[in-house]
Amino acid sequence: MILGMTTTFDDADLFSDVFTGFRGVGASTRHSRLLTALTLVAALLLVVGGLVWSSLARQTPAVDAIDPADLVPVLAESQRAGDVIASSDLADLLIYPESTRYLTSDDTTTYFVATAPDDKLCLLAMPVGDLAQTSCASTAGTPHVLRLENVMLVPAGATAPAGWHEAAANVFVRS
């Protein structure tokens, strides 16, 4: 057994390094209060700037809604008896009942145009003995074509695709 080779904490002076700090490392420099305040203000400005930028990025420019009667002239006419849909058929449809106007019909379905909340224009299909179907689009911005099955409502300013022919004003059916 070799006795002269053992080393203790005292021999290497590690004890004082562990519990009192390392040799050769000076006292920590203390930052001034002004530097701390400036850092906090800069961080706060970055956070606020990021929130404002995010909020502005989510906002879309407001587009004025077009009067539905300008898109589908039949809506400018007074509602007649043939334009009225039974209130029981309108129960789950979010449209204005006083705005419904008859467009066309075929053997099994009658089609109407109507307006809905939030400046929407709607095409309604009322099949005989079945539930109503609707297709709605906003009247703001570019006019949108509305389609249900083989019938399409083409507002003024929009064009019908090839293969469709006009069955009534603003109403197209597949050829």
Say whether pLDDT at 149 is over 60.
yes
Using DSSP's 3-state secondary structure scheme, residue 30 falls into coil
Q: How many CB atoms lie within 10 A of CB 105?
A: 16
Q: In whole angstroms, how large is the CA radius of gyration of the chain?
A: 38
* φ/ψ (deg, to 5) at 140: -85, 140
Judge whether residue 77 has pLDDT over 80.
Answer: yes
Which pLDDT belongs to residue 6?
59
Distance CA 149, CA 65 (A): 27
pTM as predicted: 0.64
The answer to which of 22-36, 37-51, 118-132, 147-161 has the lowest mean pLDDT is 22-36
**Own/partner pairs for 4-9, CB < 8 Å, 24+ apart?**
none
The predicted model gives 8-23 an average pLDDT of 57
Q: How many CA atoms lie within 13 A of 80 on its CB side?
A: 7
Share of the chain above pLDDT 70, in %: 80
**89 Cβ neighbours under 8 A, 6+ residues apart:** 126, 132
pLDDT digits (tens, 9 = 90+) for 93-135: 889 999 999 999 888 999 999 999 988 999 999 998 888 899 9
For residue 143, name the pLDDT band (cuts at 50, 70, 90): confident
Which range, 4-8, 44-48, 137-141, is most confident?
44-48
